[in-house]
């Protein structure tokens, strides 16, 4: 399968705690993106990190990319109940612009 | 700016029938891609269109087809429906173009297809 792998598959934390999700992929990429999905609805784009970038921030989100290990992590700081959702990493492989390969996702539950 | 619009939102079909789903991309976006999401297989890429041409295709049988019109709107068709085709079908549009990468994809709310 071309799909990347994410871990953990499920994560349950208390409000205010940090949540970390990891993603691994297989071959050279143009970029890696993170998406959020609430209850089987559409995907919301969170952040895009290019292959020549190592870290990127957006609000309470921090993404790192290690191309030597073919892995990425998403950190959500000071989690809120509203962050409860499924989070997916997606890779755009080299020379395949417009095609995203998704990981299996991490189901995050933030308890108030 | 209007987002990606998918119609219909819900659909129930019988095995053996065919179905057509529609996607209107964000204005100015010429790349439209389709994904199938199921609990067992997750999110899987179906195909991507740019300027009315299919650029990329996933590993799905020929029963799954699509097309893109000159206004960038896209349709996907599934013929001879099987129970396993029950899924959430998501459409995404982006600015990805010829030689242009590193563009985020904007997703519609999806069409929930149930095959009975």
Give residue-wise pLDDT tens across range B64-91.
999 999 999 999 999 999 999 999 999 9
Contact of B25 with chain A, judged by CB distance below 8 Å, is answered with: no
Test A40 with B56 for CB contact under 8 angstroms. Answer: no
B89: which chain A residues are within 8 Å (Cβ-Cβ)? none
Mean pLDDT of chain B: 93
The pairing of strands B5-7 and B19-24 is antiparallel
Q: What pLDDT is stored for residue B100 in this prediction? A: 60
A30 — pLDDT class (breaks 50, 70, 90): confident
pLDDT at A42 over 70: yes
pLDDT at A73 over 70: yes
> Stretch B49-67: mean pLDDT, rounded?
93
pLDDT at A1 over 60: no
Following DSSP, what letter does each residue of A50-112 receive, concatenated?
ETT-SEEEETTEEEEEETTTTEEEEEE-S--GGG-EEEEEEEEETT-TT-EEE---EEEEEE-
Percent of chain B with pLDDT over 70: 94
CA distance B48 to chain A (A): 7
Other residues' Cβ atoms within 10 Å of the Cβ of residue A64 = 15
Q: What pLDDT is stored for residue A39 in this prediction? A: 84
pLDDT at B1 over 70: no
Following DSSP, what letter does each residue of B35-98 receive, concatenated?
EEEETTTEEEEEEEEETTEEEEE-S--TTEEEEE-TTS-EEEEE-S--GGG-EEEEEEEE---T
pLDDT at A98 over 60: yes
Q: pLDDT (tens digit, 9 = 90+) per residue, A6-23?
A: 899 999 999 999 999 999
């Amino acid at each position: 399968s071309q799909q990347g792998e994410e871990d953990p598959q499920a994560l349950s934390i208390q409000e205010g705690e940090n949540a970390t999700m990891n993603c691994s992929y297989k071959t050279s990429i143009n970029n890696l993106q993170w998406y959020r999905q609430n209850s089987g609805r559409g995907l919301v784009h969170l952040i895009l990190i290019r292959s020549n970038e190592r870290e990127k921030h957006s609000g309470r989100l921090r993404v790192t990319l290690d191309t030597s290990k073919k892995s990425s992590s998403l950190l959500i700081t000071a989690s809120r109940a509203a962050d409860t959702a499924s989070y997916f990493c997606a890779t755009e492989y080299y020379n395949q612009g417009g095609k995203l390969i998704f990981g299996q996702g991490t189901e995050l539950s933030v308890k108030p | 700016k209007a987002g990606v619009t998918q119609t219909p939102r819900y659909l129930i079909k019988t095995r053996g029938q065919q179905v057509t789903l529609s996607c209107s991309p964000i204005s100015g976006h010429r790349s439209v891609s389709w994904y199938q999401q199921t609990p067992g297989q997750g999110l899987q890429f179906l195909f991507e269109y740019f300027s009315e041409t299919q650029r990329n295709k996933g590993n799905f049988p020929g029963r799954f087809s699509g097309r893109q019109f000159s206004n960038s709107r896209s349709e996907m068709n599934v013929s001879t429906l099987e129970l396993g085709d029950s899924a959430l079908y998501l459409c995404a549009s982006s600015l990805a173009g010829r030689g242009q990468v590193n563009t985020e994809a904007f997703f519609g709310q999806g069409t929930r297809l149930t095959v009975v």
